[in-house]
Each structure stands twice: as C-alpha cells, then as structure tokens.
Structure 1
Amino acid sequence: MPSHHPWAVGVEIGGTKLQLGLSRHPEGFDGLIRRTIVPADGARGILAQIEDGFAALGEEHGLRPGDVRAVGVGFGGPVDAESGRTETSFQVEGWTGFPLAGWFREALGVPLVSVHNDADVAGLAESRLGAGRGRSPILYLTIGSGIGGALIIDGRIYRGAGRGAAEIGHLRVPPSDLAPAGAEWPELEKVASGWGIGAVARDLARTLDAEGRRWGVQDESGGDPASITAVDVADAARRDDPNALRVLGQAHDAMAHALCEAVALIAPARIILGGGVSLMGEDLWFAPIRSRVDAGAFAPFRGSFDIVAAELGEAVVVHGALELARDALKASR
C-alpha cells in the first residue's frame, strides 16, 4: 500500500525471545517476526537471527537495500543510549561493550539506529500508545523474571545522568515475616518478581519440610521444593491456600513499599504494571497492591495517580522500538 512514511524496524532483544517488527505507518506493524533465542549461541547467534529476520521481512514485503531507514532496539540489559553500545546482558554472553548501533549501520545498512533498555522502551510504548496515553509522568514497571522500570516524561524516556533511571527493581524493601530474623533489606525483585516469588515459596517449602509439615504446592509441582514456581503459587492462592497467600502478601507489601517511595519522589500521574507476574490479574495482584499504596502513599499525593494494567501485550517492546525509530526519522528531516 503506498505510503509517504519511510520503512522502520523495531527490534526486541531479550534473554529468550527476539522480535522484529516492520512498519511504515504511525502505529502498528506491517510485519512481525518472532524467534526463540538460544543463549548458548551467544550474541553472535542473535545477530545472525536478526540478519535472517531482516532478510525475511524484506523478501515478504519486497524491500530493496536501503529501504529501511531507521531501527529502534529494546535491549534486555543496561545500555549506553548515547553511543548505542550494550553494557552487558545477564542472560547471554557476548554483549559486554558491544557497539550494537554501529553493527546495524554496517551489517544491515541502516543509517538511523537508536538503542535503549527494553524496560524503558516498553514504558515509552505504553505512554504513547497504551495505558499511559495522555498522561505524564508515567512510571512503568515490567514484572517478570526480574523487575524493570521506566520513567516517561512528556512522551520521552528519562535517563537521569545517562546510564538509565527508574531502576525500581533494585530498591531495598523491608524484610517480611518469612525472612530470617535480622535479615538485610532485600531488593524488590528478590521478593516480588516471578523468580523472587518462586524463590520465597521454595524456601518456605523447605522450612515446612524441616518442621515435619508438608505444603501441598510442593506435591503438585513434582514433590521437590526446587520445582515450585510463581505460577504454582498463584494457582494455589486462587484456591485460598494460606501459605501461597502469605508468599504473595510479601510480594504485595514489597511492591507497595517501593511504589510509595516512588510516588513521594516523582509524583507520577499514572503507574502502569506489566510483565508476566501482572497476569495474575485484579484479585491476586492489582487490588492488593492498590489498597496498600492507597494506605501508605504520601498523603498530599493521594488521589493524584492511579495504578493500571499495561495494554500492549507481548509486542510492547517492539511497539516502543518502532517509536524510537520514528523519532530518529523525524529528527533527521
């Protein structure tokens, strides 16, 4: 279909998932490719997959070399956005100090490349296209295996002194009654991410075993405490299992503590919660967190913000990466 908009590509590079979206429209995709990453193949394996993905999109849409004018990238790890270099990945080897923007320019002939952390890119997408439309500032959290955050002000990623900002998953939160006496304050993602919820549940199962008691969740997940996941906890909580509710209650408390601190510091107009853990839904996730934040937030700011679910689903980072590419195109005119 004829269009005066140039072609752009949005890329999500995660620890297990690669996505490429092709578009020449203000919103949406003309084509979308998903690939499973093989961490053992390292960064070079992912780069080869990106080249294959570009070729497949080009063939499908009849693109010629040079037709793609801009690429935006949401990368699963810290980046130097100014230089377009990845600082490291915590899942895949080979990304330390890698000149990713330069690679896109040299290997794929794309002149305009913008590289940001994937949580920032997802937050950008939600602020412009999803649950944050018309609001500012937006505080976005993606709660999955870890917890990432983004602060979006007037539709722009806030990056502090240049290395990122809104790393809410690394805020310290008070230890719960499930923690050993005298325990240090853990980071938020240690207790409220999917991995963290599973880890707390596994520790509880081992404690109950040592006391001669058995937690049914352990048996339902194969009998070994090491096999318990956050999904098992959520399933048990829906059946009103008291231990599962205790584990989730710790996550709710920790999340609310961190959000109250964030509200006091940045006074967001809207807080958006995304990621796999948020798929627990209203009763198990959003309502308990809202009630705790409502009770604990800085009193003068109560009523000035709300907490809502993300809207853009598993393609959120690709949407945001395309927004980065479109920004680069606008700036180049």
Structure 2
Amino acid sequence: MTDDAEWLLGIEIGGTKLQLGLTRRAGTIEILKRSAIDPSRGAEGIREGIRRAFALAIDELGLTAGEVRAAGVGFGGPVDAESARTETSFQVEGWTDFPLGDWVRESLNVPCVSVHNDADVAGLAESRLGAGVGKSPLLYLTIGSGIGGALIVDGRIYRGAGRGAVEIGHLRVPSPDPTSPDDFPELETVASGWGIGRLARRAAEGCRDRGESWTVLDEEGRPERITAVQIARAAGLGDPRSLEVLDRARRALAFALAQAVALIAPARIILGGGVSLIGEELWFQPIRELVDAEVFRPFRGSFDIVPAALGEEVVVHGALELARDAWSASA
C-alpha cells in the first residue's frame, strides 16, 4: 500500500478543461487547480498550463517538485497506456503520438507516471471511491459533448488488446431520427450533448419549413443555435417536442446499453457527464425502463443503472488512483 505521507499528483487534460490536484490521502484532493483550455493555443498551451498550475500548487503547499512521488493523467483522447503516449486528440492539435508520460517526468520532476484515457480514469474513480464501490464488472459512461466508456473489473481498467476498450460512443445504433440519411449512426451523434442538440436543430428546421411554432425555436429564433441545455430545460417544463427529442436520445442509449449488458454482464452501470444532469425523471428512470424492456432476458435484474457520484473532479480522483498504483508498483 502507498504511504499516505507521499504526495501524489492527478491531472485531467480535457478538450475544454484542465484540472490538476495533489493529495497524500486516498479519496481526497488536498489542493485543486482548474482552468479553461484555449484550443487555439494547441497542446503546448495546455502543457504550459500544467507547468504553471503545478508550480502554484506546490508553492501553496510548501513543497518542492521532487517531493511529489507519482502522477496519474486522464487524457481526453486515445492513448497507449503501456508507453504512456497520447495517440491523438479530437479537440486540440499537437497531441499526435506525444510522449506525455516522459514529459511529465522530465518537466515536473515526478518519477512515476501513468497515462490513460479520461473515461477509463473516471470509471476507475467511480469503482474505487464513488457509485461503483463493491461492484464488478462495472460499466461506466460519461455522456457530455461526446460519449466515452470504461469497463472496470475488480478495480482495474480493462483495456482489451492494449489500445483501449468499451468505446461505446462509437457503437452503431438504429437511427432515432427519421430525417437522417444514416440508418445506423454512431451513438454519440444522437445521445451526447452535441447529438441531442443536433436532433433538436433538425426538428426545428422542420418546424420552420412547415411554418409551425415551437417554444424553443421561438425563443432562439434560429435553429442552428439550439442546444441540449435548452432542450432539457424545455422538456422539464413539459414541452412535447423537446420531450420527443430527449426520447430519441434515450432510446438510442438504451439500445446500446442493452447490447453492452448482453456482452459484458456488468453488475452496475454508472452514467456520468453533463447530459446525465438532466436527472432522474427525464433521464435515468426512462432509460432503466427502456433497457429493462430490451435486455437479454436471463440478465434482467442482474444489474442496476445509477448516477455517477464524484462530480466534476472525477477524472482527478481517478488520476490520483493511477498515481497511487504507479507508486505502489515502483516500491
């Protein structure tokens, strides 16, 4: 076990957000630095932000860089965890085949570094510290601007043949949009925050073309400006068209989850990310009912679907767990 006196570093590198936390105690973040990412500055801008946040954090704690023993990184894109290299980022230029683990070791003077995809890292955190404690296998989904997935088995990230696994956002699902030319789009194009907005914008264009009124369209004025946040708010007020858009997204997600249950047979499914903040009545309960209706019958009742527990710091918590594992393995 890692000595709680050792300082550990956890870093989240997302498409829009950078977070960095330090701790000596499992399950806590003793100091947290958070900043927005400017994609126009590329990967080097993010690395500058990491150096700056790390320097501020250790200065506030009265530490030197050499006192931080290990670091974990949750990266917003595919990674080669064995070599601790990023494969690419779909939001920020400059991360293709980048030796992130080596960079952290050299730039921050941290001897042990572990790098994984951010969804995997979030799933790890929920399995050890959050809504998945005591459950295995655990299927975790983060549903935000995109959809990421993780499979955690006995408290460890499952990575398939080595380049990751459970890329559920790229699973093909029956199209919930009758106006779409694609009969089997990827899940994240219809059930992510961006996907829900896209479904809504197409529905709004249809209303406009038919000269029909829709509260969301009337408020916004232009279909191209409608977002998932507006749809969720209008659905909460009982707007029929917004409820229909949400139902299309829920049905696509439920289809994907039913297939995942048939293949993985998880003990628990955790749904996190900004879209899941839509809540119990409009998100979780309808999804549970849809999955229950479609799932492989012998597996019905063997799992549950619950909200994530660790909030906006989930990836930092998971990254600190990666750091803890790395330091333990090196001892």
What TM-score do you get using the length of structure 2 for normalisation? 0.97
The residue that corresponds to 2:24 in the other structure is 24
Task: Map 1:50-199 onto structure 2 (within 5 A).
Answer: 50-176=50-176, 178-180=177-179, 183-199=182-198
Task: Map 1:229-248 onto structure 2 (within 5 A).
Answer: 229-248=227-246
> 1:261-297, CA deviations, whole angstroms, 9 ceiling, x for partnerless residues?
0000000000000000000000010000000011111
Identity of aligned residues (%): 67
Q: Is the 8 A contact 1:205 1:214 kept in 2?
A: no
Alignment length, in residue pairs?
A: 329
- Post-superposition shift, 1:4? 5.1
- Post-superposition shift, 1:182? 6.1
- The residue identity in structure 2 corresponding to 1:293 is V
- Post-superposition shift, 1:214? 2.4
Find the residue that maps to 2:66 and give its secondary structure. coil
Question: d(CA) in 2 for partners of 1:230 and 1:294?
Answer: 25
Q: Is the 8 A contact 2:136 2:267 kept in 1?
A: yes
- The residue identity in structure 2 corresponding to 1:210 is D
Question: d(CA) in 1 for partners of 2:290 and 2:279?
Answer: 16
The residue that corresponds to 2:301 in the other structure is 303
Seen in structure 2, the aligned counterparts of structure 1 residues 33 and 174 have a Cα distance that, compared at 3 Å, is same
Q: Is the 8 A contact 1:21 1:31 kept in 2?
A: yes
- From 266, 269, 272, the equivalent of 1:271 is 269
Question: d(CA) in 1 for partners of 2:158 and 2:109?
Answer: 29
Question: d(CA) in 1 for partners of 2:4 and 2:16?
Answer: 35
- From 252, 255, 277, the equivalent of 1:257 is 255
> 1:229-263, CA deviations, whole angstroms, 9 ceiling, x for partnerless residues?
00111111112211111111101110110000000
- The residue identity in structure 1 corresponding to 2:25 is H
Find the residue that maps to 1:66 and give its secondary structure. helix
- Post-superposition shift, 1:181? 7.1
Question: d(CA) in 2 for partners of 1:195 and 1:19?
Answer: 23
Q: Is the 8 A contact 2:4 2:26 kept in 1?
A: no
> Which 4+ stretches in 1 moved above 3 angstroms?
none
> 1:17-46, CA deviations, whole angstroms, 9 ceiling, x for partnerless residues?
100010111220111111111111111011
- Post-superposition shift, 1:190? 0.7
Q: Is the 8 A contact 2:7 2:70 kept in 1?
A: yes
Is there any run of 5+ residues in structure 1 with no aligned partner, and where?
none
Find the residue that maps to 1:213 and give its secondary structure. coil
> 1:138-188, CA deviations, whole angstroms, 9 ceiling, x for partnerless residues?
000000000000000000000000110011111111112x32376321111
> 1:45-93, CA deviations, whole angstroms, 9 ceiling, x for partnerless residues?
1101111111111111111231011000000000010001111111111
* Range 120-129 or range 230-239, more displaced: 230-239
The residue that corresponds to 1:36 in the other structure is 36
Seen in structure 2, the aligned counterparts of structure 1 residues 109 and 136 have a Cα distance that, compared at 3 Å, is same
The residue that corresponds to 1:284 in the other structure is 282
What TM-score do you get using the length of structure 1 for normalisation? 0.97
RMSD (Å), alpha carbons: 1.1
